[in-house]
Structure 1
Amino acid sequence: MPKIVDAEARRQDVVDAVFRIIASDGLERASLREVADEAGLAVGSVRHYFASSDELLVFSFATVINRIVGRLEASLVNVEKEVSGTPEQLSAVLNLLGQVLPLDEELAVDACVWMAFRHAARIKPVLAAEAERSHRAVAAVVGRLIMLLSPGEDAVQQILVTEAERLLATMDGLCMHALLQPEWMTAQVCSDVLTAHLAAFSGLSASR
């Protein structure tokens, strides 16, 4: 009998190979041939699931976005369960923000791949739509988080938008620093920076 291949599992094997290549050598090396070698497959087998390098890269970009956004949305539910202003809520918020930072091996690979694709989208039009989706999806979660942390229901919309963008910029900066300088930008340092940022936001919100 011919061997039955689980198409979804095989696609995931190929995407995992893409992620390993990007994390170790960069996006430029993620050609069909290199990915096939990394996955232990023939190029023809990879082409059975992805007709071109562009199709493979777009699918891989979408996969890492879905992973990260899925974790963020699940973490947001936990934030919403906690009483506002409590240590438990702060812990839940820090856990949420940590989902985009390279705080362990799995998160580090996702963060590296995510950043690589976002940067590549600047010059690769085929990645632009996923890059836009990535920004909007992450920004939506962060915007909702800022609203949850803002005391009162009469906060000025523009202030909330500005604070959401400020937090997004902080997250991006921490992610990049932690990827480039992991010995310095440890999980504890990231937590300390985020805690200080949130404390400053709470102070500003309370004074308005």
Structure 2
Amino acid sequence: MPKIVDPDARRREVVDAVLRIIAVDGLERASLREVADEAGLAVGSVRHYFAGSEELLTFTFASVVDRIAARMEDSLPAVEAAAPGSPARRAAVLTLLGGVLPLDEERAVEACAWMAFRNAARIRPFLSAEADRSHRQVAAAAGRVVAALMPEEPQETLVLEAERLLATLDGLCMHALLQPAWMTADMCTGVLERHLDGLGR
């Protein structure tokens, strides 16, 4: 009797293999053959789900964006439901923002791939649509956080503060990936705490 394979589970296995390769050796090594080896599959098995490397990388990028966006979206109701200025709201904001940052091994692997894909999209047009979606998803969540924290501020201020928050998140993400011994999870959280203090919240 032939083995029944769950196609969604198999795609997740392949995506996880791509992420591990990027985290260790960078995006350039994520070829179909290398990914198949990492996943313990034949190249033909990978080709059954992905026609070529561009489709595989685009799907992987989309998966990373979906994971990060889902973590942020899942945290938004707690941010918006908590009382203004309360410890519960501050904790909810830190949880939401931490969804982007490499605060544990899983998020570090995803953050590494997320940054690598975003950078590669500058010169690989097939990744540009996902890069744009990535920015929109994270920017929308950051904008809603800022709006919840500063409901009385004019729109121009909210836009500037959302951009400042995005720049802080990008900087922390990159710094934590490049200097993990210094920019630890606790340090990242401390910087975010200080950023929130700068908002007066």
Instruction: Identify whether the pair has TM-score above 0.5, normalized to the shorter chain.
Output: yes
Report the Cα offset of residue 151 of structure 1.
Answer: 4.0
Equivalent position amino acid for 1:186 in 2 = T
Over the aligned positions, Cα root-mean-square deviation in angstroms equals 1.0
Q: How many residues align?
A: 201
Corresponding residue for 1:13?
13
Residue matched to 1:206: none
One-letter code of the match for 1:178?
A
Identity of matched residues, %: 68
* Distance apart, 1:15 and its partner CA: 0.7
Runs of 4+ with deviation above 4 angstroms: none
CA–CA separation in structure 1 for the residues paired with 2:151 and 2:187: 27
2:170 pairs with 149, 160, 172, which one?
Answer: 172
What SS does the aligned partner of 2:181 have?
Answer: coil
Q: 1:80, CA displacement in angstroms?
A: 1.4
Structure 2 gap ranges (5+): none
Give 1:127's aligned residue: 127
The correspondence for 1:193, drawn from 187, 191, 194, is: 191
- SS class of match (1:3): coil
Whole-angstrom distance in 2 between the partners of 1:191 and 1:12: 30
Structure-2 separation of matches of 1:195 and 1:44: 49
Q: What corresponds to 1:163 in structure 2?
A: 161
CA distance in 2, matches of 1:40, 1:188: 36
Residue aligning to 1:65: 65
SS of alignment partner, residue 38 of structure 1:
helix
Q: Which amino acid aligns with 2:87?
A: P
TM-score w.r.t. the length of structure 2 is 0.97
Match of 2:74 in 1: 74
Distance across 2 between alignment mates of 1:194 and 1:168: 11
Unaligned runs of 5+ in 1: 204-208
Shift of 1:202: 2.0
Deviation at 1:75, TM superposition (A): 0.9
> What per-residue deviation string (whole Å, max 9, x for no partner) do you get for residues 69-91 of structure 1?
00000011111121110112111
Aligned partners of 2:154, 2:60: CA distance in 1, in Å?
38
The answer for the alignment partner of 1:52 in structure 2 is 52
Show CA shifts across 1:24-75 (max 9, x none): 1100000000000001111111101000000000000000000000000001
Q: Scaled by the length of structure 1, what TM-score is found?
A: 0.94
